[in-house]
């Protein structure tokens, strides 16, 4: 075996120019495949990271009425058959695999009962627990956060996100100002910002629905202060922080099942209620599929160049077998079996295409980096793809080397020796 490999490399090295030209088809094919796969992976990684994970890997699970998120308001109170989320359920959620943090919260949208002076606020109001900012990836921008004392004393304090701050205060500091929420005065103690913002170009309505967080920003108050404004003191939604983006779907599903089983009993005449997680992963998968479909066509074209490369290898191996007829004849005369001659030529073809494959991988990596830096598109080297490419090019060598190798193995030693 080692002799065969050593001989194969000698043969390839002995005809440097010819070997290189033969490999060229394989090199081009593999390089294009690596480039395409790297670009696909780069785009997908970017979609996944910035869209789904938003850099924080937060999975939100909320109550759905039939197929739509259930929005609480004065007219839409807690349905009869939905129970408040208990501390026990929170514990169970925290025990789901790969969950880093669990936070319970209440929220209202379209609630116009928030004012600063004469300005009404049309964003969202959140009643949040201790873990909310950690789980969703907010950090304090300035001021302070909610303290345990705030919560214990049911203090009327509030925090804003940067969106709400911009809408209500512009450039003026918000800390110390008083908001009127449901007729009650709440003192603003701090402003939070997302640790990582996703910079998406919003080009279509679909993009807008997907990426736009909220129009008017968010106002946060301690969950304990929620009943001061609304009657319910129990959280209605859950946010879970996943260890990695890939875990988000699984965590979301487990949390859905758990919450639907624990919180919803019986039926309601208001419709079918269930807990569902954000389906961002699914939506992202659709986008990824679209980009994959285009790129798959490119992969087929690259595959054709591999086929052409393989035929080139077969051609040159046939020439090699003819040139080395006497060598084959002599080897068979002194005792080489068919199997060995076959092995020698297959090894040589496979070595030729494997070297081509390795050069192709290097060229592909270089090319995708170049494209990435010139065009500004993301690229990510896929290590499994590299392995597959090298193994695949080796297989091409074996497949296209088969006919020449069989021809060599079946040479009659007498004819082979007599040939000049």
Partner 1 sequence: MLLEMKDICKDYPQGKEIVHILKHVDLAIEEGDYLAIMGPSGSGKTTLMNLIGCLDVPTSGEYLLNGENVAHASDNHLADVRNTTLGFVFQSFYLLPKLSARENVALPLLYAGVKKRARNRRAEEALQMVGLGDRMDFMPNQLSGGQQQRVAIARAMINKPKLLLADEPTGALDSTSGHQVMDLFDELNAKGTTIVLITHEPAVGARAKHLRRILDGELLAEGEGGVGDAW
Phi-psi region of 343 (alpha: psi -120 to 50; beta: other; left: phi over 0): alpha
Q: Which is nearer to partner 1, 371 or 417 (CB)?
A: 417
411 within 8 A of 329, measured Cβ to Cβ: yes
Which of the stretches 261-269, 335-343, 357-365, 389-397 binds partner 1 when contact is defined by CB under 8 A?
335-343
> Is residue 376 close enough to count as binding partner 1 by CB under 8 A?
no
Minimum CB separation of residue 5 from partner 1 in Å reads 14
328 within 8 A of 415, measured Cβ to Cβ: no
Among 152, 304, 307, 414, binds partner 1 (CB under 8 A): 414
Which of the stretches 30-38, 67-75, 176-184, 410-418 binds partner 1 when contact is defined by CB under 8 A?
410-418
Q: Which is nearer to partner 1, 193 or 336 (CB)?
A: 336
Phi, psi of 266, rounded to the nearest 5 degrees: 70, -165
Residues 328, 345: Cα–Cα separation, whole Å: 10
Minimum CB separation of residue 333 from partner 1 in Å reads 6
Minimum CB separation of residue 327 from partner 1 in Å reads 6
Phi, psi of 345, rounded to the nearest 5 degrees: -75, -35
Closest CA to 411 of 316, 319, 331, 347: 331
User: How many other C-beta atoms can be found within 10 angstroms of the C-beta atom of residue 398?
Assistant: 15
Among 334, 376, 383, 384, binds partner 1 (CB under 8 A): 334
Q: Which is nearer to partner 1, 88 or 420 (CB)?
A: 420
Coil, strand, or helix at residue 216?
coil
Among 170, 183, 335, 384, binds partner 1 (CB under 8 A): 335
Q: Which is nearer to partner 1, 196 or 326 (CB)?
A: 326
Phi, psi of 268, rounded to the nearest 5 degrees: -135, 150
Chain centre to alpha carbon of residue 69: 25
Q: Which is nearer to partner 1, 206 or 418 (CB)?
A: 418
Q: Which is nearer to partner 1, 244 or 410 (CB)?
A: 410
> Is residue 10 close enough to count as binding partner 1 by CB under 8 A?
yes
Closest CA to 26 of 295, 341, 317, 382: 317
Task: Return the ∠ at Cα 188 (arms to 62 and 232), rounded to 5°.
Answer: 35
Counting residues that bind partner 1 (by CB under 8 A) gives: 20
> Is residue 340 close enough to count as binding partner 1 by CB under 8 A?
yes
Which of the stretches 55-63, 112-120, 305-313, 322-330 binds partner 1 when contact is defined by CB under 8 A?
322-330
Helix or strand holding residue 127 (H, E) = strand 124-128
Residues 270, 7: Cα–Cα separation, whole Å: 80
Which of the stretches 112-120, 230-238, 292-300, 338-346 binds partner 1 when contact is defined by CB under 8 A?
338-346
> Is residue 336 close enough to count as binding partner 1 by CB under 8 A?
yes
262 within 8 A of 87, measured Cβ to Cβ: no
Minimum CB separation of residue 332 from partner 1 in Å reads 7
> Is residue 330 close enough to count as binding partner 1 by CB under 8 A?
yes
Q: Which is nearer to partner 1, 101 or 330 (CB)?
A: 330
Binding-site ranges for partner 1 (CB under 8 A): 3, 10, 14, 326-327, 329-340, 413-414, 417
């Amino acid at each position: 075996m080692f002799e065969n490999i050593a001989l194969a490399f000698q043969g390839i090295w002995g005809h440097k120019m010819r070997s290189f030209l033969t490999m060229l088809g394989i090199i081009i094919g593999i390089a294009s495949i690596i480039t395409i796969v790297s670009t696909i992976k780069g785009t997908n990684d970017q979609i996944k990271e910035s869209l789904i994970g938003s850099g924080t890997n937060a999975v939100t699970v909320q109550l759905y009425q039939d197929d739509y998120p259930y929005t609480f308001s004065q007219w839409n109170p807690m349905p009869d058959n939905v129970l408040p989320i208990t501390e026990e359920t929170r514990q169970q959620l925290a025990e789901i695999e790969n969950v880093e943090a669990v936070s319970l919260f209440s929220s209202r949208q379209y609630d116009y009962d928030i004012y600063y002076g004469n300005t009404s606020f049309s964003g969202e109001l959140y009643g949040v627990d201790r873990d909310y900012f950690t789980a969703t990836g907010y950090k304090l921008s300035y001021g302070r956060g909610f303290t345990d004392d705030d919560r214990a004393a049911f203090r009327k304090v509030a925090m804003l996100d940067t969106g709400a701050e911009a809408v209500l205060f512009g450039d003026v500091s918000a800390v110390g100002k008083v908001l009127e929420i449901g007729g009650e005065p709440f003192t603003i103690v701090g402003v939070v910002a997302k640790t990582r913002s996703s910079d998406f170009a919003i080009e279509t309505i679909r993009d807008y629905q997907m990426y736009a967080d909220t129009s008017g920003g968010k106002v946060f108050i301690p969950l304990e202060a929620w009943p001061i404004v609304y009657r319910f003191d129990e959280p209605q939604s859950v946010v879970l922080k996943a260890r990695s983006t890939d875990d988000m779907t699984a965590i979301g599903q487990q949390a859905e099942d758990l919450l639907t089983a624990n919180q919803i009993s019986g039926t309601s005449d208001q419709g079918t209620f269930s807990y569902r997680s954000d389906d961002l992963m699914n939506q992202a998968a659709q986008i990824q599929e679209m980009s994959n479909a285009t790129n798959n066509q490119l992969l087929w074209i690259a595959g054709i160049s591999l086929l052409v490369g393989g035929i080139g290898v077969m051609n040159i191996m046939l020439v090699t077998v003819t040139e080395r007829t006497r060598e084959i004849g002599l080897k068979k005369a002194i005792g080489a079996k068919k199997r060995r001659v076959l092995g020698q030529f297959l090894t040589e073809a496979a070595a030729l295409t494997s070297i081509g494959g390795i050069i192709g991988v290097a060229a592909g990596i270089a090319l995708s980096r170049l494209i990435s830096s010139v065009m500004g598109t993301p690229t990510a080297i896929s290590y499994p793809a590299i392995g597959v490419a090298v193994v695949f090019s080796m297989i091409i060598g074996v497949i296209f080397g088969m006919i020449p190798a069989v021809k060599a193995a079946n040479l009659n030693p007498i004819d082979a020796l007599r040939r000049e």
